[in-house]
Amino acid sequence: MKYIKISLILIASIVFITACSNSTGDSNSEDKNSETDKRWQEVKEKGELVVGTSGTLIAASYYDGEEESEDQLTGYDVEVMREVAKRLEVDISFEIMGIDSMLPAIKSGRIDVAANDIEATDKRKESFNFSEPYKYSYTTMVVRKEDNSGIESLEDLKGKIAGGGATTIYSQIAEHFGAEVKTYGNAPNEAYLRDVHNGRSDVIVNDYYLSKFGVAGFPEFDIHLHPDLKFHPTEQAVVIAKDADKLTEKINDALAAMREDGTLSKLAKKFYQEDASQKPEGNIQEIEGLDL
């Protein structure tokens, strides 16, 4: 009889422990599900997608007029996100900020996502979710026309002054090859380009499309795109909070539909005069040893 009682107690204990274990597992699962759905639920409840962007990148995110109002904010990234919000059936608003402020603003919840020609790198993917790419490009340089600022190879960046944002991939590339980076904050393209023209800096390492339209916008400056250097192919995507998987899925669904029906190509050609939604052709140099 005593043996039977002990056996029953042991069985009851095992059942209790198993139940607790299952309860803990269910709780962890619920927490995970809650985290993956949280950002999307917040967007749905407020009926608005808040997007961080700079408003200073010609062709990508800029003001088409003298007044810096949201009505005049446009560009490829801006119009892509307006169309995404439309397909998600929510309103959209834009928070204007420098690139160095966007990623912290996503983490804090000040903005829901960022769209500002931001490259999806392996290091960034450790801290953030990224949508599927909506733009493909590569990296080049803006230099002085007369002598290419003395740069004929990536190695010639050593000792040069490169204009750029403090945390951008392009500044990291310049530093990797020994350039000194001069930062500007959320300054307009003109400030960067004028400094190269005047000799206060030597080079701007940046996206091909953005550089092309930046140079074209200031024909009075003695600058051009480097004729020979094409390197570091890139993919630009929407930046989203880490583990906000439901919001990521919704944005990806919208982008996939936009790619399928030609909306991405149409917008890319409108702002870049080329289809930047497709991968560029030709030989583009990969850079070894970059921890991006």
**What class has domain 137-233?**
alpha beta
Asked if residue 163 has pLDDT above 70, the reply is yes
Cα gap 292→275, rounded to integer Å: 26
- Partnered with residue 285 across adjacent β-strands are 231
Per-residue pLDDT band at 124 (split at 50, 70, 90): very high
Asked if residue 66 has pLDDT above 90, the reply is no
Asked if residue 32 has pLDDT above 80, the reply is no
Asked if residue 201 has pLDDT above 90, the reply is yes
Per-residue pLDDT band at 15 (split at 50, 70, 90): very low
Torsion over CA: 267, 271, 275, 278 (sign): negative
pLDDT in tens, 241-286: 999 999 999 999 999 999 999 999 999 999 999 999 999 998 999 9
Per-residue pLDDT band at 20 (split at 50, 70, 90): very low
- Quote the tokens at residue 84: 């995404």
- Better-predicted residue by pLDDT, 288 or 278: 278
Asked if residue 8 has pLDDT above 60, the reply is no
Least reliable range by pLDDT among 61-65, 184-188, 244-248, 261-265? 184-188
Average pLDDT over the chain reads 89
What are the CA-CA distances from residue 76 to residues 29, 243, 277 (Å)?
Answer: 38, 26, 10
Cα gap 185→287, rounded to integer Å: 26
Please write down the long-range contacts of 100-104, taking CB distance under 8 Å and 24 or more positions apart.
100/165, 100/166, 100/167, 100/185, 101/52, 101/186, 102/52, 102/53, 102/239, 103/127, 103/128, 103/167, 103/239
Please write down the long-range contacts of 69-74, taking CB distance under 8 Å and 24 or more positions apart.
70/94
Cα gap 239→50, rounded to integer Å: 12
pLDDT in tens, 228-237: 999 999 999 9
Q: What pLDDT is recorded for position 27?
A: 44
Same fold, 43-134+237-272 and 137-233: yes
List the beta strands (DSSP E) in 75-112: 91-96
Q: What pLDDT is recorded for position 34?
A: 63
Q: Tell me how many helices (H) and strands (E) the chain has.
A: 9, 14
Least reliable range by pLDDT among 4-18, 24-38, 115-129, 179-193? 4-18
Q: What pLDDT is recorded for position 18?
A: 42
**What would the CATH number be for the domain defined by 43-134+237-272?**
3.40.190.10
- Sequence-ordered list of residues with C-beta below 8 angstroms from that of 215, at least 6 positions apart, any chain: 142, 193, 221, 223, 224, 225
State the first-to-last Cα distance of the chain, in angstroms, to the nearest integer: 69
Q: What pLDDT is recorded for position 17?
A: 37
- Residue ranges of domains in the chain: 43-134+237-272, 137-233
Q: What pLDDT is recorded for position 216?
A: 94
Cα gap 173→205, rounded to integer Å: 8
Q: What pLDDT is recorded for position 43?
A: 98
